Amino acid sequence: MTDRTRVTRSPDRQRTDRAELYRILDDALVAHVAIVRDGLPLVLPMGFGRGGDAIYLHGSTGSGIFRMMASGSPISVTVTHLDGLVYARSLFDSSMNYRSAVVFGTATIVADPAEKAEAMRIVSDHLMPGRTAEVRPMTKRELAATLVLRLPLDEVSVKVRAHGASEEPDDGEDRAVWAGVLPLRLTALAPETSPLTAPGTPVSAAATAYAARIAGAADAAAAAARAEPAVAAPMP
């Protein structure tokens, strides 16, 4: 842990478990990438993938921010899951449940053709698991137009809040005010088929599996929630 990765606000929320870091990254599709441009901060959303102890970003060779990253500008990459709204009995103690990972470092270009192909597979499998097997391979021209960057997971800060509303038996708050958590989850709606898809073509198994995967995560969370009483039991 470095000064930069040590959590100073709510240090009890810091996590150092590597598996938790991987899970936060693997469950996310979009990262927010910050860079310093002309001395000023800029943060943009980007798709990404994780392979081993690195994050991979892919973009167009024509993208200015990608070229800046490729030339060694330091970056900060943050992934956040908003897991719930936490309704305390005061606005002051109200909060959010979340999981976030902040990565610091400098990205390098993945230039070796075999490593680049593998890195692009990692990003594709991350953003659209299973899709690689359903579509044609990338062409040489497409590969050449894509810049792939690698950011090692060396300097990382993980912060998690995953519990109920703050309350203590002697906090003096009004128990007749409901307190609790409203869990939030990303879910998929029905797939929308493109006009030029051949009649009778089944929906992509990759898309269907992804929808089921995130629905499963939501169902599991809902089942855990149902195991708690909807209305509070008498105080012990």
Our finding on whether 165 is near its own copies (CB under 8 A) is: yes
Our finding on whether 233 is near its own copies (CB under 8 A) is: yes
Our finding on whether 133 is near its own copies (CB under 8 A) is: no
Residue 11 identity: P
Cβ neighbors of 37 (< 8 A, separation 6 or more) are 65, 68, 73
Q: Which is nearer to its own copies, 46 or 54 (CB)?
A: 46
Q: Which is nearer to its own copies, 45 or 112 (CB)?
A: 45
Our finding on whether 217 is near its own copies (CB under 8 A) is: no
Residue 63 · residue 149 · CB < 8 Å: no
- CB 204: neighbour CB atoms within 10 A? 17
Residue 206 · residue 124 · CB < 8 Å: no
71, 72, 197, 213: residue in contact with its own copies (rule CB under 8 A): 197
Our finding on whether 187 is near its own copies (CB under 8 A) is: yes
Backbone angles phi, psi at 199, to 5 degrees: -55, 140
* Greatest CA separation for the chain: 68
Our finding on whether 29 is near its own copies (CB under 8 A) is: yes
- Binding residues among 61-100 for its own copies as defined by CB under 8 A: 62-64, 74-78, 80, 82, 85, 87-92, 94, 96, 98, 100
- Binding residues among 134-153 for its own copies as defined by CB under 8 A: 134-136, 138-139, 142, 145-146
191, 212, 213, 216: residue in contact with its own copies (rule CB under 8 A): 191
23, 67, 131, 161: residue in contact with its own copies (rule CB under 8 A): 131
Stretch (H or E) spanning 103: strand 95-106
For residues 2 and 17, give the distance between their C-alpha atoms in angstroms, rounded to a whole number. 16
